[in-house]
Amino acid sequence: MPKREVLYKGKFHTVELAVIANDRCPAKKFLNDLSKIDREKILRVIKRLAEEGKLTNPEQFKKIEGEDFFEFKSFQIRMPCYFQAAGRLIITHGFMKKESWIRPEEIDRMKRIRHEYEKRT
């Protein structure tokens, strides 16, 4: 059975980090590389969604236009994710968004990580 990395289990959602080949977890590495303050900010948003079931502030969580992904947001920090059955929410990775749009390579990366993760589970 492939490794599962549960970040937070809330009342409405269980938030997991995608684990890919060689037990690599891009989202976990991204979180660990953030400053303590930035990590706490984004984790607060993630935990609130897991506990409350939804977030209405698009500055913290929104659908990525033209994709079946959503993103957690805190200033320039972005963590793409998607919903699976049974209240599971999978975070693919994280990145710093410096433009007003998401770079195509980040879209490709989230799709590639999801494909690899789902192939393993």
Tell me the per-residue pLDDT of 4-60, one tens digit each, with 9 for 90 and over.
Answer: 899 999 999 999 999 999 999 999 999 999 999 999 999 999 999 999 999 999 999
Q: What's the pTM? A: 0.95
Give, as one character, the DSSP assignment of residue 101: S
Q: CB–CB of 46/56 below 8 Å?
A: no
3-state secondary structure of 91: strand
What is the mean pLDDT of the segment spanning 82-94? 95
Q: CB–CB of 44/37 below 8 Å?
A: no
pLDDT of res. 1: 52
